[in-house]
Chains A and B, each alone.
Chain A
Amino acid sequence: MKPFVLAALLLAPLALADLPAPEAAPAAVVEPAPAPAPALKHPEGIEKAMGSGVIEGGWEYIYAAYGVGLLGVLVFAASLFIRRPKGLPERAP
């Protein structure tokens, strides 16, 4: 038994000889911190054209919409008046 154990111990390194040696862990790469972004500034002053996200003005549209509503009521009422029946039946059948 002992000769077999000794032979196994002697041959074991030979069996592992073709395996590559474990690689060393790569060293951590420390990237340099990015340079701070330059301030947003357009040569033509585009930042001045950027609004605040709120619509400004527009009263002409508001008056137009309310005017369309009033005009609609008047025109439809006038059309009903023009088409009104001359003699109405007293009781619907």
Chain B
Amino acid sequence: MPSFIPLTLLALVVAAIVAHLASPKVRPWLWKPVAALGAVMLVALWYLGLFWAPPEQFMSDVGRILYVHVPHVWMALLAFTLNVGCAVAYLMKKSWVTDALAESAAEVGVYFGAVGVSMGSIWARPTWGVWWDWDPRLISTTVMLLAYVGYLALRSFTEDPERRATWSAVSAILSYVSLPIVWFSVRWWNSLHQVQSNPSTVDKPMVQVLRWGAVTMLCFLYVFIVKRYEIARSRQTAAMELPPLEAPRPEAA
């Protein structure tokens, strides 16, 4: 797979999300073929990851876990990047669309991050000998996920929609500080977790399966974000239609 294809696919996903938001004609149907494609690719990923890819030099078959673990964490980082982009956009120009998209991206990011960390824990048991180790990469990832859980909690505890949007946008920007720390933690500190690989250090069939997994998860990322966005939008609409909590007091004569 040429190196420009993943970036092209990523651009396509972003374009599909924008089309979903902007065009009511696209909204009812575009997610369906993408979801079907994701399901088919997921089945193929199981075959490619479990049986087709060669075993790793030292991890042997246990290395097959990386074909699902790494794409999940990538999707979490992408979702959090979308979240902070929407947060900045909201602060620059207030819009319920960017607020709802930020909320959906954060929740989907937490989902992908939690599943990715769970897979990493399962991988660590036969590789490191422990389910969990308090090393810099794992600590920073935990802090990042907890920050976004806090972001979602902040949204659910704040009643006023406008105040919720503003506060959570600021919270999103603060939470995003953890992301570069997660990314560079394996380089800044002496971490048990290995540093990032690149196509020149990984065997070609392994890179292909890893990219296949990334594209598969991109399909699910798109579907999950747009469906969660619809939930967020409907909640916003319901909140706008609610009567005020306190009836306006009659003015004193």
Contact = CB atoms under 8 A, between A and B. Distances in A.
Contact of A84 (B21, B72, B230): B230
Chain A interface: which size bin?
Answer: 20 to 34
B42 A65 contact: no
Contacts of A62: 50, 61-62, 64-65
Highest count of chain A CB atoms <10 Å: which of B97, B122, B224: B122
Nearest to A75: B111
A61 B125 contact: yes
Contacts of A66: 46, 49-50, 65, 68
Interface string A57-72: 1110110111011101
Interface residues of B, number: 40
Interface in B193-226: 220, 224
Contacts of A90: 24
B181 to A, nearest CB: 25
A55 B57 CA distance: 9
Interface in A29-70: 53-59, 61-62, 64-66, 68-70
A55 B69 contact: no
Contact of A61 (B50, B96, B115, B123): B123
B119 interface: yes
Given A55-B58, A66-B49, A88-B234, A76 B111 contact: yes
A54 B125 CA distance: 15
A53 B122 CA distance: 20
A88 B233 contact: yes
B124 to A, nearest CB: 9
Given A66-B50, A88-B233, A58 B62 contact: yes
B174 interface: no
B126 interface: yes
Contact of B58 (A53, A59, A65, A68): A53
B24 A68 contact: no
15 contacts: A54-B59, A57-B61, A57-B126, A61-B65, A62-B64, A64-B122, A65-B122, A69-B115, A72-B115, A73-B42, A83-B231, A84-B230, A85-B233, A88-B230, A89-B237
